[in-house]
Amino acid sequence: MPAPDSTADDLAALQAALAAERLARQEAEARATGAEAMVAHLKLLIAKLKHDKFGASSERGRKLIDQLELELGELVAAASEDAAKAEAAAGKDKPSTGTSPRRHPVRTSLPEHLPRERVVIAAPSACPCCGGKLSKLGEDITETLEVVPRQWKVIQTVREKFSCRSCETITQPPAPFHPIARGRAGPQLLAMILEAKFGQHLPLNRLCETYAREGIELSVSTVADWVGACTAGLAPIMALIDAHVLAAARLHGDHTTVPVLARGRTIVGRVWTYVRDDRPFAGPAPPAATFRYSRDRTGEHPQRHLAGYAGILQADAYAGFNELYAPDRKPGPITEAACWAHGRRKLFKLAEVARAPLAAEAVRRIDAIFAAERAINGIPAEQRLAVRQQQIAPLVTDLETWMREQRARMSRHAEVAKAMDYMLTRWDAFSRFLHDGKICLTNNAAERQLRGVALGRKAWMFAGSDRGGERAAAMYSLIATAKLNDVDPRAWLADVLARIADHPASRLHELLPWNWKAAQARPAAEAA
């Protein structure tokens, strides 16, 4: 019979061995779980890369629409060509019956504001059957849309000189102001060039080639000189737009890349935009956008851009904005409001690419919030806040609770967990719209303004220099603000360039797009 001490020692050894085995099993299971999560992560990463390369992501929706519209146009043109050839072939074999097997699209009336030019086909002077006298019964009118080619002209401004017969003093009217000192370009031409370069993103060399085909030889250096002079002349208007934007209680902020030509290579610069748009909460202030350029994306740039601002900034989770939210910031901390579109985008991609059911459920819940928010767009902030507290806040609370419960069950390597963490770690910023009716659900207002820059990159490839990037940002501010106020940028720029040289500085605000639009509409309203 073994001694008691020996039995106790054996029992302790067995318990230690059992504990060691259990620990080893747990470590193995943990390693297996981690390995499985890493395998899932790598598979998802490969699927994402394949999707980015071969698939159509939600981020490229606009490009997909453009491609589909191009395909549609090609199909319609091909069908029309085939039908026209078939009709022509049928017409050679038998006379036309007045009916066509070809399906024509429903025609809409041509714009009423366009001038009409009557072309009357001469009628016979007598009846072709009996030679009797004809009397008019009426007329049939067929309208065709036509365009008059662009006309170039030279305006000669004549200042006559007069001499007094009594004192022989010579009198002559003063020289008129020109948009460009000693320049030979009129405001309409300058506005056309500015809008084409910065609104349609056409490089100057292409513009000059187009003008040359029309018989107007302009060198790239001459046109570039005009662009630089106009940018300097319009600087006071840009300053007023900047001040108007930074006076907002809430701003949208975002940035995008822009290649910049450097010595022997290109570098990646940044174009920043800050948008004031109070229309979602029925604010009376007109919308406006200001753009900035920087050579890199460090946080010092937004800190400089918004040095005197202390309102609400609606933006993504870019780390360069973090210093703006510091409590000890002067003149005061900026309130962070997160973008739900960014949070949804990460989950939507996982639901689409990886077919992740949790991501799909999160997207469904977020879409319910978007649907409820859509119904209160454009009403005053107080009413928006009341509806949010009553109808949307429970949806947000349920979403947070559900996401935290699901997140607790997932590995830290899981992609869905990372997408949820993007929102959960910033939940105060995401839920802040429930406490302020002025805050929007998304930052789409800023992203829309940067869309033109992204499209333009494919046309001009890169900015010529840092100065070129700054000049482009300034002109983007003018053109984007005009479009936000439903103002034709070319017409507005032409009038401003014609008037700004001798316009009183104390009344420059009259030339801002929204005031200019009201002044243009006033004579028509009075005449009516």
CB burial string 133-154: b at 16+ within 10 A, e below: eeeeeeeeeeeeeeeeeeeeee
Helices (H), 94-203: 187-194
Instruction: Say how many residues make up the chain.
Output: 528
pLDDT at 95: 46
Please tell me the total count of domains within the chain. 2
Q: How many CA atoms lie within 13 A of 208 on its CB side?
A: 12
Closest CA to 226 of 176, 261, 187: 187
Establish if 79 belongs to a structural domain.
no
Domain boundary among 388, 415, 434: 434
What was the pLDDT predicted at 85?
Answer: 74
Q: Are residues 332 and 472 in the same domain?
A: yes
Q: Which residue has the higher pLDDT, 455 or 99?
A: 455
Pairing of strands 265-276, 288-294: antiparallel
- Over the stretch 241-291, which tens digit does the pLDDT of each residue have? 999 999 999 999 999 988 887 776 778 889 999 999 999 999 999 999 999
Query: Is 138 domain-assigned?
Result: no
Specify the residue for token string 């001040």: 243
pLDDT for 109 equals: 82
* 395 and 454 co-located in one domain: no
Q: Are residues 244 and 334 both part of a single domain?
A: yes
> Does residue 483 share a domain with residue 452?
yes
Cα–chain-centroid distance for residue 116?
Answer: 36
**56, part of any domain:** no
Q: Are residues 394 and 310 in the same domain?
A: no
Neighbouring residues of 127: CB distance < 8 A, sequence distance ≥ 6: 133, 134
Residues 297 and 374 in one domain: no
In a domain, 366, yes or no: yes
Q: How far apart are CA 53 and CA 127, in angstroms?
A: 72
Write down the pLDDT at residue 433. 97
Which of 6 and 314 is assigned the larger pLDDT?
314
- Structure confidence at residue 152 (pLDDT): 93
Cα 63 to Cα 57: distance, rounded to the nearest angstrom: 10
pLDDT over 70, % of the chain: 82
Checking if the pLDDT of 98 tops 80, the result is no
In a domain, 158, yes or no: no
DSSP-assigned states of every residue in 473-509: HHHHHHHHHHHHTT--HHHHHHHHHHHGGGS-GGGGG
Whether residues 333 and 450 share a domain: the answer is yes
Mean pLDDT across 473-496: 96
Whether the CB-CB separation of 369 and 392 falls below 8 Å is answered with yes
Classify residue 333 as exposed, middle or buried by CB count within 10 Å of its CB (0-12, 13-18, 19+): middle
The pLDDT assigned to 214 comes to 92
State pTM to two decimals: 0.79
Query: Looking at the structure, do residues 266 and 327 belong to the same domain, yes or no?
Result: yes
Parallel/antiparallel/unpaired status of strands 162-163 and 265-276: unpaired
Q: 122 lies in a domain?
A: no
Whole-angstrom distance, CA of residue 520 vs CA of residue 459: 34
Do 422 and 487 have their domain in common? no
Residue 303 has pLDDT above 80, yes or no: yes
CB atoms < 10 A from the CB of 407, how many? 19
**In whole angstroms, what is the distance from residue 443 CA to residue 143 CA?**
45
Asked if residue 460 belongs to a domain, the reply is yes
In a domain, 197, yes or no: no
Q: Two tokens at 11?
A: 């029992």
Q: Are residues 350 and 479 in the same domain?
A: no
Q: Dihedral (C-alpha) 491, 495, 497, 498: value to the nearest 10 degrees?
A: 140
What angle, 0 to 180 degrees and rounded to 10, lies between the N-to-C axes of helices 415-424 and 393-408?
140
pLDDT band at 92 (very low <50, low <70, confident <90, very high): low
Instruction: Check whether residue 384 and residue 458 sit in a common domain.
Output: no
Phi, then psi, of 412 in degrees rounded to 5: -70, -15
pLDDT at residue number 99: 44
Among 402, 434, 466, the domain boundary falls at: 434
Q: Is residue 36 very low, low, confident or very high in pLDDT (cuts 50, 70, 90)? A: low
For residue 289, the SS3 value is strand
Whole-number percent of the chain with pLDDT over 90: 54
Question: Can you tell me the mean pLDDT for 204-209?
Answer: 90
Contact residues for 80 (Cβ-Cβ < 8 A; gap 6+):
none
For position 57, what pLDDT does the model report?
46
Joined together, the tokens standing for residue 263 give 């010595």
Kind and range of the H or E element at 418? helix 415-424
Choice between 261 and 215, residue whose per-residue pLDDT is larger? 215
CB atoms within 10 A of CB 453: 20
Task: Find out whether the peptide bond into 236 is cis, omega within 30 degrees of 0.
Answer: no
- Greater confidence (61 vs 98) lies with 61
Residue pointed to by tokens 């509409």: 521
Sign of the torsion formed by the C-alpha atoms of 184, 187, 190 and 196: negative
For residues 342-374, b (16+ Cβ closer than 10 Å) or e, as one string? bbbbbbbbbbbbbebebbbbbbebbeebeebbe
Q: In which domain, by residue range, is 513 found? A: 235-338+444-527
Kindly report, residue by residue over 218-232, the tens digit of the pLDDT.
998 899 889 999 999
Answer yes or no: do 457 and 428 share one domain.
no
The full 3-state SS of 329-347, as one line of letters, equals CCCCCCEEECCHHHHHHHH
Query: Last residue of a domain, which of 434, 459, 486?
Result: 434
> Among candidates 277, 279, 299, 272, which has minimal Cα distance to 288?
277
Please provide the distance, in angstroms rounded to a whole number, between the alpha carbons at the two ends of the chain.
Answer: 120
pLDDT at 24 over 80: no
